[in-house]
Amino acid sequence: MWWYDRYAVEVGMKLRDEFQVSQFIESGTYRGVNLKFWSYRFYHVIGVELRRRYFHETDRRLDNRSNAKIVCQDSSQFLKEFVDTYCRDGRQDTILIYLDAHFYTQGEHKTKKERWVVLRELEALAGFNNCVLVIHDFNCGDGLYGLVYDGEPLNFELVKDYLVQVNPDFFYYANLRERCNPHTEESIIGTEGLEPDSATLETIRFHCTDRLKYRGILYCTPKPLDLTQFKLKETIQ
């Protein structure tokens, strides 16, 4: 959940301004807290959620947010269709795409792409140079934690070939543990776009251990960042 780390939110808004991003896309909305939060910070947000229960809950949460949309669809299919429409319309603007739907299908007979949803999402974005990618729950090291399924981590080794297909000129950055600033039940009070409701409070209470509080984030940008402004670290090129 990108909203949960207050410094990560600062980075998100700096990326918005640096690349003049008006549109934010999130894959896997869960209960919609993150999508609603970012709808107060981007001109237009779109969420894609395959599970109908979470689709309906997110849709209710977005009530009266005219700049926000939720779609019930497979995320890789949605991203492929979005890119096709973007190109057909002759658009040139930069899109920020937040990938957080890292579902995994077990099975030794399955390929990596069949197991990892994130690989299918990146494949759907192949050739889409006009995007900033943010991949959450990424294994960045240095005291930050990410997903590991069947002994296989979500790391650069897993995604690098797919990222190159999206944009061979990407620059890669990761967050820093010492900059992480997790929300508390008290800090969300008065934060625009957040409400002290059950979904938000349950998220904060669930993230009670270091492994859950300090999550790695990979940032992929089409041009280099000024690290005096973005307190991140350069990662594998």
Alpha-carbon distance of 152 to 112, in angstroms, equals 10
How many domains does the chain contain in total?
A: 1
By CB atoms closer than 10 A (0-12, 13-18, 19+), residue 140 is buried
Q: In the predicted model, what is the mean pLDDT of the chain?
A: 93
Q: Summarize pLDDT for 90-107 with one digit per residue, the tens.
A: 999 999 999 986 665 665
- Which domain CATH number covers 210? 3.40.50.150
Alpha-carbon distance of 210 to 44, in angstroms, equals 33
The pLDDT score that the predictor gives to residue 63 is 86
57: containing domain: 2-234
Report residues of the chain scoring pLDDT below 70: 101-113, 236-237
